[in-house]
Amino acid sequence: MYDRIVDEPRLTHRWLLAEGESAPRRLREMAAELGEHYGVGFSQIGANLYRDGADGVAWHGDRVARERPEAVVALVSLGATRPLRLRPTGGGASVAFPLASGALLVMGGTCQRTWQHSVPKTAASGPRISVQFRHLYPGAPGVPSSA
């Protein structure tokens, strides 16, 4: 990170369905159902485990933002309630979304380019899993550059 080796601020795993990786059945079903609802072929599933309040993620926009004018990323939160914060890209006032277990947050359109998001560290929190559903973008593994 920023030319330094640092511990990842949470535990992560990713499945690239386009490369034939087999995610758990229920996650594949969720990807299909959400994709049908939002008109997107979700082909990547990620899972982040925030073990406690010491785990978090800094302000960022997902890589899909650099590759697509519009993108849809769906997040399902499981476990302890943690805030996901959004702010305009480059800084400014932020808005908190306290994601309880079972909450669905969908960032679509230009959100990934025009807003940044974070999961700030907290004084105390139970474990939380964030499951993310993303679609293919040019330059992604398994995607031809003309896609």
Q: What is the pTM of this model?
A: 0.83
Give the gyration radius of the chain's Cα atoms: 15
CA angle 31, 35, 40 (to 5 degrees): 130
Sheet containing 11-16: order of strands:
11-16, 42-50, 128-135, 73-79, 104-107
Greatest Cα pair distance in the chain: 46
The model's pLDDT over 106-143, given as tens digits with 9 standing for 90+, comes to 998 888 889 999 999 999 999 999 999 998 765 554 44
**Would you state the structure tokens that stand for residue 87, as one six-digit string?**
């702010």
CA pair distance 121, 131, nearest whole angstrom: 18
**All domains of the chain, ordered by start, with CATH?**
11-135 (2.60.120.590)
Of 24-33, 35-44, 94-103, 136-145, which gets the smallest average pLDDT?
136-145
Tokens at residue 34, please?
């959400």
List helix spans (H) across the chain. Answer: 25-38, 64-67, 111-114
Which comes out higher in pLDDT, residue 17 or 45?
Answer: 45
